[in-house]
């Protein structure tokens, strides 16, 4: 067979050469050890936690080493593509603070190793397809769906491995005349790799996450180009990651089964193999067993979920670091105020079997992250969130920024800041009572008569002076307690509850409920200071009148 002739027959329109491409995309001029890596998501419209885990791993590896992170959009599967998905993808990654040095952006390409959207690279793939054909390493296959289905049936009936290999590779050694006849008839074809591997052979391979692997050679003649001339993932991966000078491929471990083929393909193309970082799946506990997070069952897989709940990006970032590197938490304890990106990230610390996702832990991390923010930052992020998810609340926050910030400053700063909020969604239930619009009528404990409650509130109003400091303020509450025959001695009360009709805690609760509508609130003295004299008094009076 004259392979040059075949190559010319199939790819007569290709004029570019591999040599020219090598020159157009030269080796990057980077310091020793710099990692060039990428995110290569498919624009399906669904951006998930796995994307973020891989994105952050790649981002850390690139930027920690003085390397390059780029975004390549893998849009070869037109059927799966949802309109606007590329924009959603780019926006979401941006929201989570993954900063790309080059690659696809909303406004087009940024960088000199593009195009960065695979559908725009068809011409480039064909250069290498032509090369492989001319060297006898690839060939056209005209099998119909029906033929392939029949092949599979035979293999299943014979209890053989299914696939296009060995004697089943029907078009592997067909004559130029046969091929010509099919082409003349206008029949569709795919380009297949001519595998010389054997499943009898194994070799060792080092993955940065999985460690030492034993790989069995591939003997399947996989498809390189589909009938529309668009490459499969495998072929595009080899060509793109070579020409874009990727040094490390960070991707999900669902690609491990086809890794033997990828290794083979890089060799056939004369490309240096990059290093691989195969990331295990994200799992969660389901009862007592672990399972993979699923798109169908677990809303928390979608990144939109975290945005809607109002987890700050910093918290999600911090949590993912906790999940990925087991020593991150110790580092955080030792460096409470350092930016998270000063932590030395290592792909070797990733759990090869996959990471366990734990919502309660995320909530915990997020509380710590928010507790450390100052009121201005909380105000800015909360307002941003509310504008999208609770516009009415957003306008209240924006109407009186200083008031909102004073509320958000309660318990902030100092050594032990309060940890009231894990998400922005929790802000309204927490602080809504400061706004008359959201104030709820209190429901007093029925164990106490309305008269008792009203008496406490009346007495409080008689004594209330907004100029009091918190010590004087609380002395007044204690005085009321004693005046109505309740106790301020909590110890004595605990020893013999039946000996007292109530305590200073009950008295405080009546006042708290009258002012906030709730039994729980931030420090009541501070709440009154922020509400001011008139509003505090008006609220208490309204409750007295309703009793
Ligand atoms: N488009 C592939 C995916 O989304 C990319 C895998 C890779 O990073 O190479 O799974």
Between CA 518 and CA 442 the distance in angstroms is 6
DSSP string, 257-275: GGHHHHHHHHHHHTPPPPE
Ligand 1, atom 10: closest residue by C-alpha: 41
Mean pLDDT (whole number) for 290-317: 92
The confidence band for 83, taking pLDDT boundaries of 50, 70 and 90, is confident
The pLDDT of 272-278, averaged and rounded, is: 98
Q: Given this model, what pLDDT does residue 181 score?
A: 97
Burial of 169 (0-12, 13-18, 19+ CB in 10 A): buried
The pLDDT assigned to 493 comes to: 93
Confidence of residue 366 (pLDDT cuts 50, 70, 90): very high
Residue nearest to atom 6 of ligand 1 (CA): 251
89 lines ligand 1 (CB under 6 A): no
**413 and 472 housed in the same domain:** no
Whether residue 101 is contained in a domain is answered as no
Clarify whether residues 268 and 149 are in a common domain. yes
Same domain for 379 and 239, yes or no, is: no
The torsion angles phi and psi of 249, rounded to 5 degrees, stand at: -105, 110
Q: Is 253 close to ligand 1, i.e. is its CB under 6 Å away?
A: no
Per-residue confidence (pLDDT) for residue 409, from 0 to 100 = 95
Domain that holds residue 460: 450-546
**pLDDT for position 82:** 81
Domain boundary (437, 460, 475) is at 437
Q: How far is ligand 1, taken at its centre, from the CA of residue 155, in Å?
A: 30
pLDDT of residue 495: 94
Cis peptide bond prior to 115, omega within 30° of 0:
yes
Determine if residue 83 is left, alpha or beta; phi over 0 gives left, psi from -120 to 50 gives alpha, anything else beta: beta
Task: Please name the residue whose Cα sits nearest to atom 3 of ligand 1.
Answer: 41
Ligand 1 within 6 A of CB of 386: no
Helix or strand run (H / E) with residue 282: strand 282-286
Among 410-414, 452-456, 492-496, the range scoring the smallest mean pLDDT is 410-414
Q: Could you tell me if residue 107 is inside a domain? A: no
Cα(410) to ligand 1 centroid in Å equals 46
251 lines ligand 1 (CB under 6 A): yes
| Mean pLDDT computed over every residue of the chain | 95
CA 517 to chain centre: 37
Whichever domain contains 509, its CATH number is 1.10.10.350
* Shared domain check, 8 and 157: yes
Residue with tokens 């005349």: 177
CB of 352 within 8 A of CB of 280?
yes
Q: What is the 3-state secondary structure (H, E, C) of 18-74?
A: HHHHHHHCCCCCCCCCCCEEEECCCCCCCCEHHHHHHHHHHHHHHHHCCCEEEECEC
Burial level of 427, CB count in 10 A (0-12/13-18/19+)? Answer: buried
In a domain, 491, yes or no: yes
Same domain as 148, residue 275: yes
Give a yes or no: residue 240 inside a domain: yes
C-alpha to C-alpha distance for 262 and 275, rounded to whole angstroms: 12
Q: Confirm or reject: Cβ of 241 under 6 Å from ligand 1.
A: no
- What's the CA-to-centroid distance between 99 and ligand 1, angstroms? 18
The DSSP result for 377-391, as a single string, is HHHHHHHHHHHHH-H
Work out the number of other CB atoms within 10 angstroms of the CB of residue 313.
Answer: 14
Last residue of a domain, one of 437, 460, 491: 437
Does residue 72 have its Cβ closer than 6 Å to ligand 1? no
Taking the CA atoms of residue 273, residue 166, residue 212 and residue 234 in that order, the dihedral angle to the nearest 10 degrees is 40
pLDDT, tens digit, 9 for 90 and up, residues 147-195: 999 999 999 999 999 999 999 999 999 999 999 999 999 999 999 999 9
Q: Which of 82-91, 107-116, 269-278, 361-370 has the lowest mean pLDDT?
A: 82-91
The verdict on the CB of residue 73 being under 6 Å from ligand 1 is no
| 68, part of any domain | no
Q: Quick one: 459 and 389 in the same domain?
A: no
Q: How confident is the model at residue 415 (pLDDT cuts 50, 70, 90)?
A: confident
**DSSP of 286-318:** ETTEEEE--TTT-GGGBHHHHHHHT--HHHHHH
Q: Read off the pLDDT of each residue in 445-451 and give the average, rounded to a whole number.
A: 96
pLDDT of 255 above 80: yes
* Index of the ligand 1 atom closest to the CA of residue 237: 9
Same-domain check for residues 171 and 274: yes
Residue 74 Cβ contacting ligand 1 at under 6 Å: yes
Degrees (nearest 5) of the Cα angle 128, 133, 134? 95
Atom 2 in ligand 1: which residue has the minimum CA distance? 41
Q: Is residue 154 part of a domain?
A: yes
Whether residues 396 and 475 fall in one domain: no
Residue 355 · residue 324 · CB < 8 Å: yes
Whether 133 is covered by a domain: the verdict is yes
- What's the predicted TM-score (pTM) here? 0.89
For residue 60, what pLDDT band results from cuts at 50, 70 and 90? very high
Q: How far is the CA of 238 from the centre of ligand 1 (A)?
A: 12
Identify which of 132, 164, 139, 141 has the alpha carbon closest to the alpha carbon of residue 151. Answer: 164
48 lines ligand 1 (CB under 6 A): no
Relative to the CA of 51, which ligand 1 atom is closest? 4
Question: Strand 138-141 vs strand 190-193: parallel, antiparallel, or unpaired?
Answer: antiparallel
Is residue 176 located within the same domain as residue 200? Answer: yes
CA 299 – CA 301 distance, rounded (Å): 5
Q: Supply the pLDDT for residue 81.
A: 75
Neighbours of 201 (CB within 10 A): 12
In a domain, 460, yes or no: yes
Q: Indicate if the pLDDT at residue 80 is higher than 80.
A: no
- Beta pairing class for 275-279 and 102-105: unpaired
- Residue written as token pair 């070579």: 242
- Return the best residue to mutate from 74, 232, 276 for the ligand 1 pocket (most ligand atoms within 8 A of CB): 74
Q: Highest-confidence range of 89-103, 229-243, 297-311, by mean pLDDT?
A: 229-243
126/266 same-domain check: yes
> Considering its fold, how many domains does the chain have in total?
3
Which among 42, 53, 69 is the best mutation to test ligand 1's pocket, defined by most ligand atoms within 8 Å of the CB? 42
410 and 535 inside one domain: no
- CATH number (domain holding residue 181): 3.40.50.620
* Residue 299: C-alpha distances to residues 101, 208, 285, 314 (Å): 31, 30, 15, 20
pLDDT at 96 over 90: no
pLDDT bin (cut points 50, 70, 90) of residue 86 is confident
For residue 89, pLDDT beyond 90: no
pLDDT tops 80 at residue 496: yes
Tell me, what's the pLDDT at 91?
A: 84
Q: What share of the chain is helix, strand, coil (3-state, %, to 5)?
A: 50, 10, 35
Q: Is the CB of 42 under 6 A from ligand 1?
A: yes
- The percentage of the chain sitting over the pLDDT mark of 90, rounded to a whole number, equals 89
Helix axes 401-408 and 391-399, enclosed angle (nearest 10): 100
C-beta atoms surrounding 279 within 10 Å: 26
Distance of CA 144 to the CA centre of its chain: 41
Burial (CB count <10 Å: 0-12, 13-18, 19+), residue 200: exposed
Cα–Cα distance measured from residue 107 to residue 529, given in angstroms and rounded to the nearest whole number? 50
Indicate if ligand 1 lies below 6 Å from the C-beta of 237.
Answer: yes
Whether 200 shows a pLDDT value over 90: the answer reads: yes
Q: Residue 318's pLDDT band (boundaries 50, 70, 90)?
A: very high
Whole-angstrom Cα distance, residue 72 to residue 76?
Answer: 11
| Cβ of 234 below 6 Å from ligand 1 | no
pLDDT for 536: 98
Tell me, what's the pLDDT at 394? 98
Same domain flag for 164 and 267 = yes
Q: Last residue of some domain: 395, 411, 437?
A: 437
Closest residue by Cα to residue 133 from 145, 143, 125:
125
> Distance from the CA of 40 to the center of ligand 1, in angstroms?
5
List C-alpha distances in Å: 140 to 125, 196, 284: 15, 16, 44
Closest by CA to 274, choosing from 231, 232, 324, 239, is 239
């Amino acid at each position: 067979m004259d392979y040059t002739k075949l190559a010319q027959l199939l790819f007569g329109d290709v004029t570019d050469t591999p040599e020219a491409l090598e020159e157009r995309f030269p080796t990057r001029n980077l310091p020793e050890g710099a990692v060039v890596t990428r995110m290569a998501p498919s624009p399906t419209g669904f951006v998930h936690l796995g994307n973020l885990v891989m994105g952050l791993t790649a981002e850390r590896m690139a930027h920690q080493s003085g390397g390059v992170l780029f975004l390549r959009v893998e849009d070869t599967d037109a059927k799966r593509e949802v309109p606007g998905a590329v924009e959603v993808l780019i926006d979401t990654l941006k929201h989570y603070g993954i900063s790309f040095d080059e690659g696809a952006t909303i406004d087009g390409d940024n960088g000199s190793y593009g195009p960065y959207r695979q559908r725009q690279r068809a011409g480039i793939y064909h250069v290498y397809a032509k090369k492989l054909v001319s060297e006898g390493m690839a060939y056209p296959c005209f099998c119909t769906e029906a033929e392939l289905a029949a092949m599979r049936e035979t293999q299943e009936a014979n209890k053989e491995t299914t696939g296009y290999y060995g004697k089943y590779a029907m078009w592997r050694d067909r004559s130029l005349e046969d091929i010509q006849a099919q082409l003349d008839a206008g029949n569709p074809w795919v380009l297949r790799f001519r595998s010389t591997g054997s499943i009898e052979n194994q070799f060792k391979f080092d993955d940065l996450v999985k460690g030492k692997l034993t790989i069995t050679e591939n003997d399947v003649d996989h498809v390189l180009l589909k009938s529309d001339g668009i490459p499969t993932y495998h072929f595009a991966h080899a060509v793109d990651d070579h020409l874009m000078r990727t040094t490390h491929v960070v991707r999900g471990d669902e690609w491990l089964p086809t890794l033997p083929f990828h290794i083979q393909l890089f060799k056939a193309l004369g490309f240096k193999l990059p290093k691989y970082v195969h990331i295990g799946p994200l799992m969660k506990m389901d009862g007592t067993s672990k399972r993979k997070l699923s798109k169908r069952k677990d809303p928390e897989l979608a990144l939109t979920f975290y945005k809607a709940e109002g987890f700050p990006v910093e918290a999600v970032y911090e949590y993912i670091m906790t999940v990925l590197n087991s020593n991150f938490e110790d580092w955080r304890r030792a460096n409470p105020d350092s930016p998270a990106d000063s932590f030395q990230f290592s792909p070797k610390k990733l759990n090869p079997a996959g990471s366990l996702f734990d919502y309660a832990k995320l909530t915990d991390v997020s509380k710590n992250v928010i507790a450390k923010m100052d009121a201005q930052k909380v105000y800015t992020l909360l307002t941003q969130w509310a504008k999208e998810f609770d516009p009415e609340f957003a306008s209240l926050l924006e109407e009186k920024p200083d008031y909102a910030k004073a509320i958000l400053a309660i318990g902030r700063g100092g050594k032990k800041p309060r940890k009231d909020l894990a998400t922005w969604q929790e802000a309204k239930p927490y602080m809504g009572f400061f706004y008359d619009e959201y104030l709820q009528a209190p429901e007093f404990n029925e164990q106490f008569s309305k008269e008792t409650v009203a008496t406490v509130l009346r007495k409080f109003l008689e004594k209330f002076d907004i100029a009091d400091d918190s010590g004087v303020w609380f002395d007044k509450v204690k005085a009321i307690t004693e005046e109505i025959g309740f106790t301020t001695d909590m110890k004595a009360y605990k020893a013999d509850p039946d000996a007292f009709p109530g305590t200073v805690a009950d008295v405080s609760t009546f006042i708290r409920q009258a002012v906030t509508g709730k039994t729980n609130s931030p420090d009541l003295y501070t709440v009154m200071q922020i509400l001011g004299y008139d509003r505090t008094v008006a609220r208490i009076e309204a409750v007295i009148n309703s009793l």
